[in-house]
Structure 1
Amino acid sequence: MEYVGIMRTGERIAARRAELGFSQSELARHAGISQATIGKLESGISSGSSQMHKIARALQTTPDFLTGETDDPSLGAIPLPTPQMIAEQLGMTLIPEVDLHFALGGGSYVDGPVSSTLVPYRTDWLERITKGAQADVILTRGDGDSMMPTILDDDDVIVNRSDRVITKQDRIWALGYGDLVAIKRVRRLASGVFQLLSDNPNVSPIEAYEDELRVIGRVIWIGRRM
C-alpha cells in the first residue's frame, strides 16, 4: 500500500489497520489499550497518545511511521513472533491436532476436509518417541471401544506418518480403507490378505487386500485424561 500523502497519524493508523484486516476492537485488543483510544486517534479528536508504541507494535510498524517521519511501515519494525518462534524459544514443537476421530470400531466416514490446530509438545520428548521424525507426526483421538483396553474412547493418539510400510506383525496403525478411517492392529496372513484386528475380543477382525488399504501412519503414543 502507498502511504505517501497520508500524513495525519489517525489516517495512518486506520490505513495500516485496514491493510492488516483488523477492526478497531481487534487492534485495541492486540495493543492492550481501549477501543476509545483508537477511535479518537482515527477520527482526529486526538493527535497523539502515550500508547503509540503499543499501537505501532500491534500494527507491525513503528511510531515513526504512524507519525509521518517515514513512509515505509517496515523500516525499523520488529516483527511479531510467530507461534513457531515462541514454541522454539520454549523448547517446544508444534504438531497438528487433526480434527478427525479415528474409529476404534468399524470405521469413521471422512466426508469433508480435515482441519487441524497446533498443539505444543516438548521437543526433546518428541525426539525420543519419534526417533527424530517429529515433523511427520499428528495428534488425533480415538472414537469407540473396539481397541479397549489399549486405547479408550477419546484418548489422545500420536501417529507417525513417516512410518507407512507394514513390516512387523500386530503393530497398531492408523488406516484408511475406502472412505473410512480406523486404528487397528494389523496382521498379514500367508495368503497376503491383511487382518485388521481389535483388542476388544468381542469385535470381529476385518480382512482387506493391500490395495484396499491406505496407511496413514503407525501409532507411537497414547495419552489419557484422568
Structure 2
Amino acid sequence: MENISRDERHARGRLQDLAKAQGTSLAALSRLIGRNPAYLQQYVARGSPRHLDEPDLRKIAEFLGKSPRVIQTRPFDTSRSTVADYAPTPSLDDLVEVPRLALDASAGPGAFSAEEISFDAFRFSRRWLREMGLEGADLSAIRVEGDSMEPTLRSGDEIFVDRNKRQGEGIHVVRIGDALHVKQVQASAPGRITLISANDSYAPIDLAREEVEVIGRVVWKGGRV
C-alpha cells in the first residue's frame, strides 16, 4: 500500500476496528455487499480496491451504525452529500439488541427463553434490519459449533434465528432433549421429522415430531475468514 495516504490507511483501520467491535468479521461484511469473503480483507490489508463503491460503502456503514464518512477513503464530496452523511452514531433507541445464546444451552421445556440464557448481545440499526427483511423478527444470535453443517455453516459462524418462523422446511435451530442443534428440517412420514446435516459425513436423523422442538429458522449468518 505504498501509494495509499495516511488518511486512507486510517479509514481502513477504522473499518476493521468497527467490525470487530460489532462482533462481526470482514468476511461477513464482504458477503453483506455481495462480494467474495476475501474482498474487504484485501481492501484493508492491500489497498485493493483503492476505494469502495458508494452503494457498498453506504450498506456497510448502515450495518455498523455509522456515517459513511467515518470509513470512506475518497475525499468527501460536499456536492453529493446527504443528511445521512452527517448523521451521528444512532442512539440506543435506533438500535435493536439481538441476544447471543450458547448453542448447547438449555432453557428447559417449553418456550425458548433468551433472557435466561443469553451471555452477550449484538446491536444493529433498525434500518439495516429492515433492508435485510428482518424487521419485526424475533431474533437471537447463536455461535455455531462443530462441522455437521459445513460448508453451509462453519464452526464459529454467528447465525440469526427468527423465533417467529417455526413452520416449514429449511435450516432451523431445534431442541432435542436439553441440547440445541442447527439442522436442515424436512418433513418425512406423517408425524415424523428428518434432521439433515449439510456435511455428508453425518447421517440424517429421523425422529417423531413430538421429540423435536423447533426453536426458529436461521435467517442470516456471518463469520471469520
TM-score, with structure 1 as normaliser: 0.52
Q: CA deviation at 1:138?
A: 0.6
Offset of residue 140 of structure 1? 1.1
Deviation at 1:154, TM superposition (A): 0.8
Do 2:126 and 2:135's aligned partners in 1 also have CA atoms closer than 8 Å?
A: no
Work out the percentage of aligned pairs sharing the same amino acid. Answer: 29
Shift of the 160–186 alpha-carbon distance from structure 1 to 2, 3 Å rule, reads: same
C-alpha distance in 2 between matches for 1:110 and 1:183: 14
Quote the residue 2:221 is aligned against: 222
Return the index of the structure with the highest Cα Rg.
1
1:153 to 133, 152, 155: 155
| C-alpha displacement of 1:214 | 1.0
Partner deviation per Cα, 1:62-100 (whole Å, 9 max, x = no partner): xxxxxxxxxxxxxxxxxxxxxxx9322xx42211112x1
1:109 positional shift = 6.3
Q: Residue 111 of structure 1: CA displacement?
A: 8.5
Distance 2:124 2:201 in 1: 35
Taking a change above 3 Å as real, the CA distance of residues 156 and 208 of structure 1, as seen in their structure-2 partners, is same
Contact 1:129 1:220 in 2 (8 A): no
Structure 2 equivalent of residue 199 of structure 1: 198
Distance change (3 Å), C-alpha of 1:133 and 1:109: closer
Aligned to 1:172: 171
Partner of 2:8: none
Q: Give unpaired runs (5+ residues) of structure 1.
A: 1-84, 102-107
2:117 equivalent to 1:118 = no
CA distance in 1, matches of 2:107, 2:164: 24
- The count of aligned residue pairs is 129
Q: Which runs of 5+ in 2 are unaligned?
A: 1-89, 109-115
Higher relative contact order (CA 8 A, sep 6+): 2
